[in-house]
Amino acid sequence: MEISTVQLVAFGIVTAIMLISALLVVTARNIVHAVFFLIVTLFCVAGYFILLLADFLAAVQILIYVGAVVVLIVFGLILTRARVGQAIPMEEVRQRLWAVLVSLVFFGGASYALLNEKWPVVSVEKMEVTTTSKIADTLFNTYVLPFQVTSVLLLAGLIGAIVLAMREEK
Amino acid sequence: MVADYFNNYITLLAFILTGMVFLSLVLFLCRLVAPRNPIPDKFTTYECGMIPMGMYWSHFHVRYYIFALLFVIFKIGTVFLYPWAVLFRSLGLFGFVAIIIFWAILFPGLLYAWKKGVLKWV
């Protein structure tokens, strides 16, 4: 079978799973179930990255989005809503209008950007497949100093979070 | 080259599919074999044999959010470990020193958190 055919079929399957789970995220009555469907959706994004031959991004997607961002969301839920396990009655959902507005604006902006961009197309057979080692090479040989600055940035974020949270404590 | 790349992921796909099939099979067999006797007591939260108090969903203190933040920050650190580990041999001593400096800068953050008592489980 042709590689592009395999890619297309896999793209279709991943997209189908992604759309279904994304729909379930917004329609689930139990917010914890919504989080689990969000995990499936984010895994599908990693699938896209694999299909685009960006294996490093796929790994980062799973590490950061599935592993860390979802944990932050779950923590946010258990800290703010005591009733997370139960379905919230529709009458109590007050942000419906805003939700519609925000998603319409996002949809409009994303569609505009997608339709107005000239996407460069490269044949799959000609693409390079060693993204991770290439990224490692640029990161540790060309951009060592910016890489170290990243660590300072993370440190600043860490200390900033502690300072803010501890001030709240008093 | 590209064909090799996709072949690797076919192995991964086979692994995922095997996992899904195995899990559904086990759950199906369980449903087939296990006796079903749903009585209300079975649905209460298990609390060391005592009658549970309150809801099974409860508020947590904001303090625990810092645990999640610490986790996320060190997780982002692992993102840099991954490409380093892939090129570990060819990067050699230089790469090793670079990654050590990276973690040495980040490490005082953990010490600071420890000193501030963030890591205490109260």
The residue extents of the domains of chain B are 2-116
CB of A40 within 8 Å of any CB in chain B?
Answer: no
Average pLDDT over residues B79-83: 89
Res. B35 pLDDT band, cuts 50 70 90: confident
Is residue A155 within 8 Å of residue B70, measured between CB atoms?
no
Q: How far apart are CA B107 and CA B122, in angstroms?
A: 23
- What is the per-residue pLDDT for A86? 61
- What is the per-residue pLDDT for A42? 94
Closest-CA distance, A119 to chain B, in angstroms, reads 21
Provide CB contacts within 8 A for B53, sequence distance 6+.
B47
Which residues in chain A (126-145) have CB-CB distances under 8 A to chain B? 127-129, 132-133, 135-137, 139-141, 144
Q: Is the dihedral of CA A101, A103, A106, A108 positive or negative?
A: negative
Average pLDDT over residues B84-113: 88
Least confident of A120-124, B58-62, B115-119: B58-62
* pTM of the entire predicted model: 0.79
Residues of A in contact with B9 (CB under 8 A): 50
pLDDT per position as a tens digit, A87-109: 666 666 677 888 899 999 999 99
Q: Is the dihedral of CA B45, B47, B49, B51 positive or negative?
A: negative
- What is the per-residue pLDDT for A110? 95
| CATH code of domain A1-114 | 1.20.120.1200
Least confident of B38-42, B58-62, B70-74, B118-122: B58-62
pLDDT per position as a tens digit, A58-82: 999 999 999 888 988 888 887 776 5
Work out the angle at residue A19's Cα, subtended by the Cα atoms of residues A18 and A20, and round it to the nearest 5 degrees: 95
Average pLDDT over residues B85-113: 88
Q: Give the rounded percent of residues in chain B with a pLDDT score beyond 90.
A: 20
CATH class of B2-116: mainly alpha
- What is the per-residue pLDDT for A87? 61
Residues of A in contact with B14 (CB under 8 A): none
pLDDT per position as a tens digit, A29-59: 778 888 999 999 999 999 999 888 888 899 9
- What is the per-residue pLDDT for B67? 82
Out of B1, B64, B82, the one facing A59 most closely (by C-beta) is B82
Tokens representing B91? 């990067």
pLDDT at A169 over 60: no
Higher pLDDT, A13 or A28: A13
Q: How far apart are CA B44 and CA B65, in angstroms?
A: 28
Out of A78, A85, A154, the one facing B76 most closely (by C-beta) is A154
Contact call for A60 and B1, based on CB within 8 A = no
Going from N- to C-terminal start, the domains of chain A cover 1-114, 130-170
Nearest C-alpha neighbor of A156 from the set B22, B99, B106, B90: B106
Closest-CA distance, A109 to chain B, in angstroms, reads 29
- What is the per-residue pLDDT for A2? 75
ipTM: 0.74
Contact call for B64 and A59, based on CB within 8 A = no
Q: What residue spans of chain A are helical by DSSP H?
A: 3-27, 31-51, 55-60, 70-80, 96-116, 131-137, 144-169
Tokens representing B69? 């933040």
